[in-house]
Structure 1
Amino acid sequence: MQWVSLGDTGSSCPAARSTVAAFRSWADSYLTQPSDELGRDGPVCPYVKPSLRRDLMWLAQVPAAEPRPMWVRAIIRDALELYPELPTGNGSSSSVLRALITVFPNLHDYTLIDEMHQEFKSNFVERGAMFGQFYPGCAQPGLWNKDFRPLDAPLPMLVVRSMMTTDFPFLLDRPEWADAYVRKFAPTLPAHVRSVMVGRLTSRPASWVPAYEARPADESCSTSS
C-alpha cells in the first residue's frame, strides 16, 4: 500500500480512483465551504483549499471490510515515519499544509478508527503532528459550536497533518500533549494562548478554564512581538 498525491490521479490504482474522487467531492463541496453551523466565519477547514492547490495531500485506501488491527497498526507506523519526509511544496513555509489521508472505504465497524486514533495520537503529537479520526456519524463536537460535528465524514479516515497554534484546545487534556505543543511553538505563541495555558496549568483540578475567551477588538492575535 502507498499514499499517492491527489493531484496525480494517474498514479493511483484503478480501484482507488473512486475513493479519490469521493474524497475530492467531499473536500470541494464541504471542507472548503462555509457552514452556518460552524460557529465562525470562513470554510470548515481553511487549509484544505491551499493544500489541494499546492498538491500537498496524499491519499491511500485500505479496501478490506474488516482489516486486521495488526495490519492497520503497521500502516499507521509507516505514516508516522513517512509524514515528516513528505515534500513541502513551495518552501518550508507550506509544510503546515501537508496531509496524509488513509481511507477505509468498505469499513463499517468504526470502533477500529477510534481505537487506532486513541492508541497512536500521542505518538504523532510528540512529533509535532495531529492525528484525526473521521467517519460517518462521528460525534466529536466542534470547537466553536458544540452541536456541530466536524469529523462526521462520508468516508472512514485517519488523517495526519501538521500541528498548528490553533490546536491548543485539543491538546490541553493530557500534560504530554500540552508539553509537545509548547515545545513546538514557544515562544511564538499568541499572548491569549499563553494566558489560557498558564490558567490551565495553575488552576485547581476542579476548576475550568475556557480554551477561548472574549478579547478586546483591537487586541492582536499575531505571534510576532
Structure 2
Amino acid sequence: MNATQPMVTTAAPSVVPGSLTRAADAAAAFDRYPQYQAGMRWVAEFVTQPHPDLGRSGAVCPRLEPAIRANTVWLVALTVHGTTPADAADAGRLLLDLFEEVAAGPHRSVAALLGFFPGLPSAQAAVFIDGGHGLLRPEAVERGLMLGEFHADSTVGGVHNRAFPVMQCPEPMFAIRAMTPHDLLFADQPATPSADRLSYLLAYQRHIGPRLSPAAREGLEAKVSAARQALSSGESS
C-alpha cells in the first residue's frame, strides 16, 4: 500500500438504539421501522401458514407461531457500514450474541431473534444476506444455533420441495434460533460439501444428541460414520 494513502476501515455493525422489541410489541415501532411491519405481515400471511408447494403438511415454519404465542420472538434493527458478505457475517455475529442475551432462561428452545437492516440498499441485499450466511453458518452451528437467511430475491428451496423458495422475505433479514432435534434435516443434506456436512452433524450430535432416544442416537452415529467415510473417500480420490 502506498504510504501516502490512508488505511480504509469499516465501522463495526451496531444495534440501533431502542430498536429491540418483542414481536407482541412490534406494532408500536412500525412508524420508525417499516421493515418490522413488512416482516410481521410476512410472518402472519406466509411463515405461519400452510402452503400447497411446501411438500408437507403444516405451516411453512411450524415453530414460529408457538414462539409468538409464548412471547419469545424478538425483532431488532442493525446499522451496517458495508455491504459485503464479511460485513454481513460481522452483523450476524452480533445477532448471535444478542440472541444468547434475550433468549436466556427456560424458553430458549422456543425463542427467535429477527434481525433487520433498514439502511441496506435493496440491490445489495442478496449478496449481503446469502454471502454472510455462507460465512457464518458454520460458526452458528458450532454454537448450537440456527441462522436463517432471508431476502426478496432468495432462491433457497425447502427441504421437501427444492423448487419452493421458502426464504423469500420482503425485507433482508437474519433469523436466529436454538438448534432443535428437527434440525437433523438441515444438518444431513447430501448436497452439502462433505467436510461441512460432517461438521454440522458433529455439532448436532454435541448439542442435541443427549436429548435423543437411544435408537435416535444410534441412527445419528451411523450418519456421522457415513459422513466421515464420504469425506475420507473424497480426500483419497
Instruction: Place the TM-score, normalised by the shorter chain, in its bin.
Output: 0.7 to 0.9
Partner Cα distance (2:182, 2:226) in 1: 21
| C-alpha distance 169-87 of structure 1, shift in aligned 2 (>3 A) | closer
The residue that corresponds to 1:24 in the other structure is 40
CA distance in 2 between partners of 1:201 and 1:97 (Å): 30
Q: CA deviation at 1:72?
A: 4.0
TM-score, normalisation: structure 2: 0.73
More helix by share: 2
Residue from 20, 30, 38 that aligns with 2:54 = 38
TM-superposed deviation, 1:62:
4.3
Instruction: Give the structure 1 partner of residue 225 of structure 2.
Output: 201
Residue 15 of structure 1: which of 32, 57, 60 is its match? 32
- Paired residue total: 201
Is the 8 Å Cα contact of residues 135 and 155 (structure 1) preserved in structure 2?
A: yes
Q: Find the aligned partners of 2:56 and 2:218 in 1 and give their Cα distance.
A: 22
The runs of 5 or more residues in structure 1 that have no matched partner are 207-225
Identity rate, percent = 26
Q: Which residue of 1 aligns with 2:202?
A: 179
Among candidates 109, 132, 136, match of residue 96 of structure 1: 109
Gaps of 5+ in 2: 1-15, 232-237
- Whether the 8 Å contact between 1:3 and 1:100 is mirrored in structure 2 is no
Residue identity opposite 1:108 in structure 2: A
CA displacement 1:70-113 (0-9 Å, x = unmatched): 6544432221222112145xx61x32221111123542221111
What CA distance in whole angstroms lies between the structure 2 residues aligned with 1:22 and 1:79?
20
Cα distance change of structure 1 residues 186 and 161 upon mapping to structure 2, 3 Å threshold: same
> Residue in 2 aligned with 1:48?
64
Q: What amino acid is the match of 1:29?
A: E
What TM-score, normalized to structure 1? 0.77
**2: CA distance between counterparts of 1:177 and 1:57?**
25
* Greater displacement, 38-47 / 183-192: 183-192
- Helix, strand or coil: the match of 2:61? coil
Indicate conservation of the 8 Å contact 1:4/1:11, yes or no. Answer: no
